[in-house]
Structure 1
Amino acid sequence: MKIIKKYSAPFLFCLIIAGFSNFLAANDTVIIKAVGTWDYFTNYQKHEGPFWNKRIAQVSDGQIIGEIKPHTELGLQGYEIMRLVKNGVFDFAFGLPGYVVPESEIFEGADLSSLVQNIDVQKQVAHAYFPTLERAFAEKYNAKLMMLYPFPSQMLWCSRKVSSIEDLKGKRIRVFLTTLGDFVEGVGAIPVSVPYNDVPEALEKGIVDCVITGTMSAYTSKLYKVASHGFTLRVGWGLAFGAMNMSKWNVLSSEQKTLLKNEIAVLTESMWQETAKEDAVALACLSEGPCNIGEAGNMVLVEPSKADLVVRNKIATDVILPRWAERCGPECAANWNRTVGKILDLRAEAKAR
């Protein structure tokens, strides 16, 4: 009994150290559960999926292993994703800021409808508004905003002839974000909510006259079979985010954090570059070609005229910005004016009542 007592403390100490070492070894690998956007869009196929399912394990020598599925495969709508991240169901999510607007209208600010026609300017807008969204994700969802990236630009695809912005008056137009609804009402049309998968049928059956969706998604869903005209006014970019649960982020070592930041920076830049190319490819394929990814859609594409852009500007200042400023509040609008507003030379102010 004396011998046992003599060696029990050191023996137990060794056991504890050995157990702790084994615990550390077993936990060297960090598994990140991620959720992506739409499996039928190229952003998931080419970037979101490969990044988490392959790339991050390769560059980290297996220290970080990602597991991702698109929200469409998981039966999710997209609106609930950040709440699931906040609750730890997912560690990382890709999604649209416009889909988390119920928590705060501040999330709309980097992609208000029709304000930006050029992807380089949209990139400047995203950069200027990043700190604002970074704070909002931290406060509302205990999440770290890691990236902002675009989907191909959102345009209008119609079953009948459209030659100008004036031709949109009275038409029923599919939208998927509040700010897009503001634009549609601003042109004197009627916003209609239609799930993306139902868009071709809604056009074919006359439930809607036009739909707003991205250039490449219009091509891949073969809208050219039911829509004759495309009006190439950019009414949005479908700006998206990548955000990580803050508690999970804090588990990473400083080296792992640096690695992940650097890799996400590379991913972000490649997605901006690809979207710029995709727009041109999709528009060529939707019209007469040449198209190296499939058949030409032979749609009539109508570019907005200078007069159309004047009308667009008026809708932006008289409808889109005032409505958003009203929803978001004075402090939110003032912040937008200091950041995005400076780049676009616009001001968001609620109309006096």
Structure 2
Amino acid sequence: MHTTLGSKVPSRRLASSLAAATLIAGGLGVALVGDVPPAHAARVNATCANTTADAGAIQGAINSSQAGDEIVIKGPCLINATIKLLDDRTYRGDSRGGAVLTQANGANLPAMLASDSWVDNVTWVSSNVRIEKLTLDGNRAANTGTVPLMLRTWNSRVYDVEIRNAPSDGIRVSSLSSNGTHLTGSTMVNSVVSDVFIENSGGAGFRVLDPDNQVTDWMLQRSWISTSGTSAVDLDNSAGWVVSDLHLYGVRRHAIDAKRCFATGIQNNYIEDFGLEGASGTTYFGIRCTVQGDVTNTILGNRVHQFAALPAAGNFVYLGVDGVNYGTGQVAVTGNAILGTGTGAGREIGLSYQKGNGPALRVTSTGNLVDKVGTTRSVGTGVTVTAGL
């Protein structure tokens, strides 16, 4: 079930609200909202020497900083320890090419950069972190299990970042901490990941891990994800998410796998060549949306193609509404363009609408172009499809 708006303010931020109330009571007459900003924000430089001392140097700069400061990383950097990102700070390089952080051979870190709440295994969430103009190289050839960027944060931003050669997922947003500690009393909402390039990940390019139903209302937009080991975008929870303007290609499994859709928008994405692993008995999706009931979702203006020859095995659904968790699922599927190979016979389906174990599914399906697939549209029992108004 979708998290309500009333639970979006993490409990750890109550201290700031109380401080604001105290100032008002003291007669200042100015209401402060959220954290009280520092009097003077500073630029803190973290200069690397491309040695195993670099992780310590970066962490030292972070630990010496204050809330509101900007930590500027100058590379190249060799990383042999997880760097803990403190709250209320900006982390950036002067350019992606000039601030390259590479994992050292055999370090096998769980993460290269990680939210402090993930590292410290606390029950609350990190907040107000901005990351930009960095390149993180997981050095997949000489390491295993590493996620270059691990986020467990609220109201944060990731811009203009390149993630390459991740041994595991490229970027992971996790409600669980490093030892599996769950969040209590706070949620992970209101963040944006934009203008990133993720390539050659061993796992998913972008992954949400959320058994707690806490990671809602994010935006993933204007980005490129190439050559993922599993799915390009794999969301355990897509409630309130907007996934838009992505170019996803060279995908071994699903291009966009959005579970628990609830007021979710999937729009204007360009997908090519998904399901490349071609396992027998497996169905691969260009776009998959598993819906929750009693709220609407939109899948709008996406372009889903297969340019390469289909693998010898596997089935391929270009756009699928694939089951309802509870209530009546409601989805508008509008203006999408699908182009198959024309060689898959019964193995390619353009549009697939299935209610799964849910009671009912209502789909408005209009203005979609579907060509060169064996089955243009498949509609399961208990599904009502209309052209809308």
Question: Normalising to structure 2: TM-score of the pair?
Answer: 0.24
Point out the structure with the larger strand share.
2
Structure with higher Rg: it is 1
Point out the structure with the larger helix share.
1
